[in-house]
Chains A and B, each alone.
Chain A
């Protein structure tokens, strides 16, 4: 039984088919990379799979349970967590308090939640900033907080939306290592990323999207040599920062 299966997902905004007939499957401990030029529909697909955008068609199954119509706030309970491309910390709350909100999902007592959140902060390297308000964090820390909040939900499936782009090289390497570690704990990860080398290093399988459709699927090696993919990125060559 696969961890996560999405069958023929379609998303429509007015007359525009933002996502059309996209299917994917994810196993435990597997990292699925999602690439494609800007506007390909990657984040829309994420939003559809995590309940933030209604699906015009298709099914989503989590360990064979149908979660197609589950509202977004019930998915964490079932084991699905996500980050947002533009981080969404609760600005007025401290770093610790932010993560505690997630911890409260599975630890309803305040002391337990605080304890759990502190552990998570340690894992993502933000313990020293625990009592700082989020509005003052720099980008790298905001990213780590974003992941920390998702991790504190103790998910089975984790959707990462561009957590590496925009970081400086040392931070990038750190993050890559971190994501690898996460998958080794058995979490299934679907990650959108623009930076080719990151996707190729981390992913077990890669899906490429363009104009809302899946245009290729395969191992990193297969994808990087696929003419259709190269074509879609014509001029893009997103091998930069």
Chain B
């Protein structure tokens, strides 16, 4: 092990490697941007799901809020950067209210409530066509250039999304060593035990939810720019929420890079088998999650981290 390896070096390495992608795989930019976006969504989901242990299967709602906000505002002349930030803010607001109502539900009850709320939001977006265009969806209008960069250029989009991923990673890195992150993990492990140590579980879950939603909303706005045209079916179905959650879980929840690993590890075979699978790409997810849950419950990266820990702290004969 290299001594004095600062975690920031890992981050720099990862971002650096990802930044090289367009130079080597320039013909696969669609795949690159889409996968990186998924990774970003999975990383954002993990803030709530991996760190506080609250499984949301409704995150698609935030993607939708971000996407529709930036598009609707762009139609009215609002700059996309501002639009994206407002989208993120609205997502946070939604999460704040949503969380306040549902966080006293524990475990699967909470998950069920997320499914219900997300579905209701999808139905609203689908039906209130005077605002959202309903089932026909929306087209992204022409957007101004940012620092001379055309936002519809795939390579520009790639770096834009990379920036998004970097932001989430910086946040999770900070969380790792901060009081907030510790409190999140305590809530995940044992809510009552955490309360005895001064942690307010509902407040912690709320905070995680809001942060997770903000980032997801931001990514949603970028997704809208990438797609240029979308409808509710594109990302408001629960299948999308499931996809994001499973990516994080398969990759390793609660680890910093797990969701990123999950996204790339699964996206590549899904893409390779795209012709055979067509729309059934979730088949891969389904098989993988069953395998992971039985054999590698900590996820891929989580299991690796655990093995590394085991090597440094070998199990003594019987507990000592």
Give A contacts to B, CB under 8 Å.
50, 52, 71-77, 81-82, 84, 88-93, 97, 100-102, 104-105, 108, 110, 113, 131-133, 136-138, 149-150, 153
Contact = CB atoms under 8 A, between A and B. Distances in A.
A81 B195 CA distance: 10
A96 B199 CA distance: 17
A46 to B, nearest CB: 11
A82 B196 contact: yes
Contact of A136 (B177, B194, B201, B315): B315
Contact of A90 (B190, B313, B319): B190
B179 A110 contact: yes
A93 B196 contact: no
Closest 5 CB pairs of A and B: A76-B198, A88-B193, A90-B189, A73-B195, A138-B319
A153 B267 CA distance: 46
B182 A104 contact: yes
17 contacts: A50-B196, A73-B196, A73-B198, A73-B200, A74-B198, A77-B198, A81-B196, A88-B196, A90-B186, A90-B189, A91-B189, A92-B185, A97-B182, A102-B198, A108-B179, A133-B313, A153-B198
A102 B198 CA distance: 7
B179 A104 contact: yes
B306 to A, nearest CB: 9
Contact of B313 (A81, A91, A100, A131): A131
A132 B309 CA distance: 9
B240 interface: no
Given A71-B200, A73-B196, A105-B197, 16 more contacts: A74-B198, A76-B197, A76-B198, A77-B198, A81-B196, A88-B192, A90-B186, A91-B189, A92-B185, A93-B185, A93-B186, A97-B182, A101-B186, A101-B199, A102-B198, A131-B313
Question: By CB atoms of chain A within 10 A, which of B189, B193, B194, B196 has the most?
Answer: B196
Chain B interface extent, by class: 20 to 34
B51 to A, nearest CB: 12
B320 interface: yes
Contact of A100 (B182, B199, B309, B320): B182
B197 A138 contact: no
B27 interface: no
Contacts of B199: 73, 101
A72 B319 contact: no
Contacts of B185: 90, 92-93, 97
Contacts of A110: 177-179
Contact of A93 (B177, B189, B198, B315): B189
B183 interface: yes
A49 B179 CA distance: 27
Interface in B149-204: 177-179, 182-183, 185-186, 189-190, 192-201
B182 A73 contact: no
Given A88-B190, A93-B185, A137-B319, A153 B197 contact: yes
Contacts of B192: 52, 88
A113 B196 contact: no
A104 B178 CA distance: 9
A81 B177 CA distance: 24
B180 to A, nearest CB: 9
A73 B313 contact: no
Interface string B283-320: 00000000000000000000000000100010100011
B179 A113 contact: yes
